[in-house]
Amino acid sequence: MKIPLLDLKAQYAAIRGDIEAAMREVVESQVFINGPQVGALETAVAAYCGVPHAVGVSSGTDALLVSMMATGIGPGDEVITSPYTFFATAGSIARLGARPVFVDIDPVTFNLRSDRVADAVTPRTRAIVPVHLFGQLADMGPILDVAARKNLVVIEDACQAIGAEHAGRRAGAIGDYGCFSFFPSKNLGGFGDGGMVTARDPSKAERVRLLRTHGMHPKYVHRLVGGNFRLDTLQAAVLLVKMRYLDRWTEARRRNAARYDELFEESGLVARGLVRTPRAVTERHVFNQYVIRCERRDPLVEHLRASGIGCEIYYPIPLHLQECFRDLGYAPGDFPEAERAAHETLALPVYPELSEDQARAVVTAISNYYETT
C-alpha cells in the first residue's frame, strides 16, 4: 500500500466542480488583482478566527515580513522567536536587518518555552514571534504578559494553525498580528502561494494594507516604502470554496490523530519507549502535522520510504545552527530541546482523507521496522 504524506488529489476530487466554477468566474471577469474574492476571503478568515481585521497577502512568509515592517522592525532591533520552526519565521526578522533571538522549546508541545521568554528580553527587543507549531497554539498567556510589561509587539506565526483554539481564542486573534499561509500543504491550502495577516487593531491592519501595495494611497502617492505583497484573486476564489470545508477537514485530521494515538498504544511501541505520540495540551490542536518522536529515526525513515509510506522530518536542523545564521554566534548545545527534537521527530500522513486502513498500515510498517532491527 502506497501512502503519501499528503494527498491533495483526493481533496481536489471531492470539490472539483465548485473550484472550477469559482476559477472560471475570475477568468471570465479578468480581474486578477484585488478582485471581490480577495475582500470576501478577508471577511471570511477574520470571522473564522474571531478577529476584526484580515488582509490577504502573497504568502505566509510575506505575512510575517509585512507584519514586522508594519511594526517598524529594523537594524539594531531584536526579535524573540523559536529555533524550531520553518525558516521563514527567523528569515523574515533577518531580512529586515534585525536580530533573531532564540529561546528553547518545550519538549511536549515543540513551542516556545514561555517561561524563558522574559530572560531573553533586552532594551533592544521589539517583538516576540511565537509559532503555533504543527497546529497547536503556543502558551500565549505568559508571552502576552511579558509583552505587556515590556511594551513588545506579539506577532503570531499561525501558518500551521488556522482554527487552533484555546480558552475561547483562536490563532491569529491573540497577539497584535496573526500570520497565515495558504501554501498547498497547510490546512487551508491554495493552488500556489498565498497568505493572510490578521489584526485586532484597525490602525495595524491599515498599515499592513498600505504596505501590501507599495505604501500607496491614494494612487501614486506613497506614504511608506512597502512592496507587492498582494494575494491573487484566483487564489482567493479557490480558498473561499475550500473555507466551507475547513472545519470538516480539521475534524478529520483530529480524528486521524486520535486513531494514531490508539494504534500506537495498542502496538506496544509506546510502552516499549520506541515511539512517543504527540500531546495536545490545548483545546483544539488542528494537526497540520502529526509528529511522533522515535528511536533510531533516520533508518526508520529509510524503511518507511522503501515501504511506500510518505513521512518527513520537520525540522532536521534547528535555526540557530543554520549556516546563514552563523554570525549570530550560536553553538550546538545552546538549545538542547530544539536539537533533540531535530534528531527524534517524524511527521506521518494525517491528511483528512487518510483512511483507517491506511493509518493502520503506517503503524504496522513502523512496528515491522522495530521487530526486524
Ligand X SMILES: *Cc1c(COP(=O)(O)O)cnc(C)c1O
Query: Which residues of the chain form contacts with ligand X (CB under 6 A)?
Result: 59-61, 85-86, 88-89, 131, 157, 159-160, 181, 183, 193, 195
**CB nearer ligand X, residue 256 or residue 289:** 289
User: Which of 284, 350, 273, 356 minimizes the C-alpha distance to 314?
Assistant: 350
State how far the Cα of 79 lies from the Cα of 279, in Å rounded to an integer. Answer: 28
- Alpha-carbon torsion angle 23, 27, 31, 34, nearest 10: 20
CB of 78 to ligand X, least distance (A): 19
Q: DSSP state, 104?
A: P
CB of 301 to ligand X, least distance (A): 20
Question: Can you say whether residue 242 is alpha, beta or left, with left for phi > 0 and alpha for psi between -120 and 50 degrees?
Answer: alpha
**CB nearer ligand X, residue 65 or residue 121:** 65
Residue number of the CB atom closest to ligand X: 60
**CB nearer ligand X, residue 35 or residue 130:** 130
DSSP bridge pairs for 12: none
**CB nearer ligand X, residue 179 or residue 269:** 179
Question: According to DSSP H, which parts of the chain are helical?
Answer: 8-29, 36-49, 60-71, 88-95, 117-120, 140-150, 202-212, 233-243, 246-267, 297-306, 336-344, 356-372
3-class DSSP assignment, residue 220? coil
CB of 141 to ligand X, least distance (A): 21
User: DSSP characters for 58-78?
Assistant: S-HHHHHHHHHHHHT--TT-E
**CB nearer ligand X, residue 187 or residue 256:** 187
The strand pair at 290-294 and 345-348 is best described as antiparallel
CB of 160 to ligand X, least distance (A): 4
- 122's grid cell: 533586552
CB of 17 to ligand X, least distance (A): 27
CB of 243 to ligand X, least distance (A): 17
**CB nearer ligand X, residue 67 or residue 256:** 67
* Contacts with 304 (C-beta within 8 Å, 6 or more apart), sequence order: 310, 311, 362, 365, 366, 369
Compute CA 293 distance to the chain's CA centroid, rounded to the nearest angstrom. 19
**CB nearer ligand X, residue 84 or residue 369:** 84
**CB nearer ligand X, residue 61 or residue 67:** 61
CB of 53 to ligand X, least distance (A): 20
User: Which of 8, 138, 28, 4 minimizes the C-alpha distance to 82?
Assistant: 138
CB of 91 to ligand X, least distance (A): 9
